Structure 1
Amino acid sequence: MSAKPIVPFSEPPYLAGLPSPYYKATHLAWQKVCRAFFEKHLLEHALEWDTAETVPAHVFETFAQAGMLIPSLPAPLPVDWLKRLGIHELLGTVKVEDFDYIHAMIYCDEMARSGLAGPGGSLTTGIAFGVPPIVKYGSKQLQERFLPELLTGKKRTCIAITEPSAGSDVANITTTATKTPDGKHYLINGTKKWITNGIWADYSTIAVRTGGPGPTGLSLLVIPLKGYPGVSMRRIKVGGQVSAGTTFIELDDVKVPVANLIGQEGMGMRYIMTNFNHERLTIAIGATRSARVALAAATEYILKREAFGKPLAEQPVVRHRLAKCGALLESQWAWVEQFAYQMTQLPKETADVELGGLTAMVKAQAGIVLNECAQCAMLLFGGNGYTKSGQGELIERIYREVPGARIPGGSEDVMLDLGVRQLIKNFKNKTKALERARGSSKL
């Protein structure tokens, strides 16, 4: 059990002394070193840096040198590559070959303990979502050119899918990549918007149109960004996650070798969709912890704040509001834990099919729960929760960040619809597989 009483809702049940079937000794040891590392190098100044809208460059360097960008990649990790680069274990605790999605979940959860998505996202979004397509689908030559510097943090990258007129509607992006007459290069023209980490990125894994309309015309390329001819970038002012470097990118006859193609032409949509599963689960984990931070802060506040002659915690209406959000929060966390466990048990190809739709739903639900918990916290803090300084400052900031969980990675309504469509598709495919062959009396 925990050595001292903890504020209700402030920790996941497994850290509040309650039994869980998911966590092995390696997971518990990983949680301890993760918490110590994040508290020292990120969480102590997270709110301060987010207010300044930029996390200092030395923080990224510290994470890179400690190998603490690596856990943002999907499990299992690219073990052969990491060992080639001299990375054999993480924080002296977990061997890279033993790292699983429970470890990944703990990493994301601990990083989000500031309640803010921006500081952690400023460090990890690029490698978490920009590198996996190269690892999974890139040619050996492409990997040799880019992975050594990207995996060690010597260079930074980002994922660039969204455009001004195509967000969740990925199949209709318009940025084009046209081959030069000699067939050796692509010329890229178009714009990308709301690209997290873009302003700091040396490279981008970018979705482009190499063929006709629709999903079959899409491909993925690696393109240089900072200082590269034809590329211009500027930061975008957004309502939340302000320190994550949201960027507008313009591409004007940007020339890159054909060898920068990831995988095959026309397969971009498939690559993007499988990459989205990791992104959506990561968002769900972080958003659930942000909801926990908000609700725990509200609980602590109502225990000391008095109104009408007694603490707010003695007001039934206050307890009722807190209870409803607490039930949502713990149900959501249980779903996230279940998801992470399932990811440790299923091959990646099976998980993409069986959990793809559910991943969209768990991401959407995380945003809904965060909205409820942040709103509850703001209402219980009253005027303090609506103030950008003082004891309610964090609650005001978390509430402002809610759309950053509900829109990126696939907007909420699209995710809910996608989830059900994928479940129905799987059901129909399995039903069809059981149908009797025509003219046969056998099942």
Structure 2
Amino acid sequence: MAIKSYSRGEVAKHNTEEDLWCIIDTRVYDLTDFVDAHPGGNVVLREVAGKDATKEFYGLHRQEVLIKYEDMCIGSIEGEKPTIIIQRAGELSQVPYAEPIWLRPEFRSPYFSDKHRLLQKTVRKWVDTYLYPKAQQHEAEGTYITTSPDLIQQMVKQNLIGMRLGPGKHLHGQSLFGGVMKGEEFDYFADLVTMQEMSRVNARGFSDGNLGGLVISLTAIRNWLQNEKLRDYVTKECMEGRKFTALCISEAFAGSDVSGLRTTCEKTPDGKFFIINGTKKWITNGMFADYFVTACRTDKGFNMILVPKQEGVEVTPIKTSYSPAAGTAYVQYDNVKVPIDHLMGKEHDGFRVIMGNFNHERFGMACGSIRKSRTMVEECLKWSNQRQVFGKRLIDQPTIRAKLAKMISIVESNQAWLESITYQMNNLSYAEQNKLLGGPIALLKQHITRGAHEIADEATNIFGGRGITQTGMGKAIEMFNRTYKFDAILGGAEEVLADLGVRQAMKFMPKAML
């Protein structure tokens, strides 16, 4: 249908509450029926009735508001063209540094192939059109992903659950996202792409609630559970979206200090079962998990045991800084009886399982934290370019440019380090990764979250009051500032990871240098 054209004079005649039009970037909007429903009240709209409200609109609203209310657009100004770019679902941002360098058309990368680029484009379109609105809904309502079986089945259809576990045989023979990539082609760069794209939903609690517990626990089941029949059965249940798992390591007495675990497991006299007693705290997805990958103390070390939800396993919600959508739980084991073949790894050698499972978990957190930090850079660049203070744009102030330069430098350097480590993951065996990459990945994660701390501080100051408001222009900044600390603590606190990185390095220190 042809878009009707109006002169500015015609628009100016519609200047009352009963007949209210305005112009936003050469487009004409009829807001007559919206006056009483406007969240900001009718006074604001009366002030722009019949006028060009472009400056006023972008001083208060995000671009997505226009997309949401597109049906109110009745035409455009004759002979004039819009100057503001509307980014549609699936499109790359044209804001400098809003995308990693490998995605910018003017640059090249030695790491990413055409398959990776096609995967990124496909996943982004799916995230923008389907995942984002669901994420916002669950974040706001505090509801678990299990209340959206349609979303889970969408992920099953795309083989996204399997992709989130990382590369492996579980994907072989599978078609990913309708044939965009074969399961055998899914490498750690494809893993990076998938995790970074899914982190763009700006719903931190939901992001962990979106099977985050499954991602970090099913990998352990796949790699360490000796009972192959049980392993494959649980894997199939989870890959089909019918059952969910959670990783249970942290306790009130032992967070990053895994050696301080107090949950115990003892064999029954006949040697056929383990009896587990103790508690776990801050367990992601624990509220809706069907299986708990549980770290326990033995008389000679540690065990990792797959514990089905059963009598004696009780879960209680824990309130945190982000949405209850994460399903964060306090888990209690009261004389829980589990068959001996639910042991993961060797008996008394569970510490090896715990440590071996951390690399991919921390890698995934690094991917997401960098992507969320990059979103802050994009938001601040856009806001600084449009916000007028003291008679000039924010971007015209040297102190604001210095803040932006700092944020950009942190994000770009961290992305480069991440891609370098990803290349090593692609070319090292699982055993070699455990030996060589534990320290570098730990240092990368703590460096990223330290950088996120600085980015959150600078971004909030750039946005001012909007940066501490959960709606409107600064809602992404507020979310990041309130929740970035989760990445700094989950999977190992910054201080512990920094120390781990140095201690790991010292293992390779040549004695001749002493």
2:148 aligned with 1:57, yes or no?
Answer: yes
- How far 1:231 moved relative to its partner? 1.0
Q: Distance in 1 between matches of 2:169 and 2:496?
A: 29
CA deviations on 1:380-430 (whole Å, 9 max, x unpaired) are 0001111122221221111111110100000000000100110111234xx
Cα RMSD after superposing both structures: 2.0
1:251 and 2:339 matched: no
Q: Which runs of 5 or more residues in structure 2 are unaligned?
A: 1-86
Q: Could you tell me whether the CA contact under 8 Å between 1:206 and 1:223 is conserved in 2?
A: yes
The answer for the alignment partner of 1:221 in structure 2 is 305
Q: Report the more deviating stretch, 278-287 or 54-63.
A: 54-63
Distance 2:235 2:92 in 1: 45
Mapping 1:41-440, distance limit 5 Å: 41-54=130-143, 55=145, 56-58=147-149, 59-79=151-171, 83=173, 87-139=174-226, 140-212=228-300, 217-225=301-309, 228-240=310-322, 242-428=324-510
CA 1:400/1:190 → structure 2, altered by over 3 Å: closer, same or farther? same
SS of 2:99's equivalent in the other structure is coil
Query: What is the DSSP-based 3-state SS (H/G/I as helix, E as strand, rest coil) of the residue aligned with 2:245?
Result: coil
Structure 1 residues 7 and 411 mapped into 2: Cα distance closer, same or farther (>3 Å)?
same
Sort the Cα spacing of 1:105 and 1:4 in 2 relative to 1 into closer, same or farther, 3 A: closer
- Counterpart of 1:24 (choices 93, 110, 113) is 113
Deviation at 1:134, TM superposition (A): 1.8
| TM-score computed with the length of structure 2 as normaliser | 0.78
- 2: CA distance between counterparts of 1:48 and 1:297? 21
Comparing 50-59 with 2-11, greater Cα deviation is found at 2-11
Amino acid paired to 1:38: V
TM-score (norm 1): 0.90
Q: CA deviation at 1:210?
A: 2.5
Write the distance in 1 (CA, Å) between the matches of 2:375 and 2:358. 26
Give the C-alpha shift of residue 224 in structure 1.
Answer: 1.2
Q: 1:241 to 1:102 in 2, by over 3 A?
A: farther
Structure 1 counterpart of 2:346, one-letter code: Q
SS of residue paired to 2:254: coil
Provide the C-alpha distance between the structure 1 equivalents of 2:267 and 2:365, rounded to a whole number of angstroms: 36
Asked whether the equivalents of residues 158 and 176 of structure 2 are also in contact (C-alpha less than 8 Å), the reply is: no
Alpha-carbon offset, residue 74 of structure 1? 2.8
Report the alpha carbon displacement of residue 90 of structure 1 after superposing the two structures with TM.
4.4
Paired letter, 1:334? A
35-44 or 316-325: bigger deviation: 35-44
Identical counterparts, % of pairs: 35
Q: Deviations over 1:208-256 (max 9, x none)?
A: 11333xxxx111111112xx10011011110135421111101101111
The alpha-carbon distance between structure 1 residues 401 and 427, as it changes in their structure 2 partners (threshold 3 A), is same
Q: Distance in 1 between matches of 2:92 and 2:262?
A: 56
Whole-angstrom distance in 2 between the partners of 1:236 and 1:247: 5
2-structure distance, mates of 1:242, 1:43: 17
For 1:321 and 1:256, how far apart are their aligned partners in 2?
Answer: 55
Which has the bigger relative contact order, CA under 8 A and spacing at least 6?
Answer: 1
What is the number of residues matched between the two proteins?
A: 420
1:88 CA displacement? 4.3
Of 30-39 and 111-120, the range deviating more from structure 2: 111-120
In the alignment, the residues of structure 1 paired with residue 497 and residue 232 of structure 2 have an alpha-carbon distance, to the nearest angstrom, of 35
Return the alpha-carbon distance in structure 2 between the equivalents of residues 280 and 130 of structure 1: 13
Name the larger-Rg structure: 2
Deviation at 1:116, TM superposition (A): 3.5
Give the CA deviation at 1:27: 0.8
The whole-number CA distance in structure 2 between the counterparts of 1:67 and 1:260 is 26
SS in 2 for 1:340: helix
* CA distance in 2: counterparts of 1:427 and 1:398, whole angstroms: 38
**Using a 3 Å threshold, how does the CA distance of structure 1 residues 117 and 166 change in structure 2: closer, same or farther?**
same
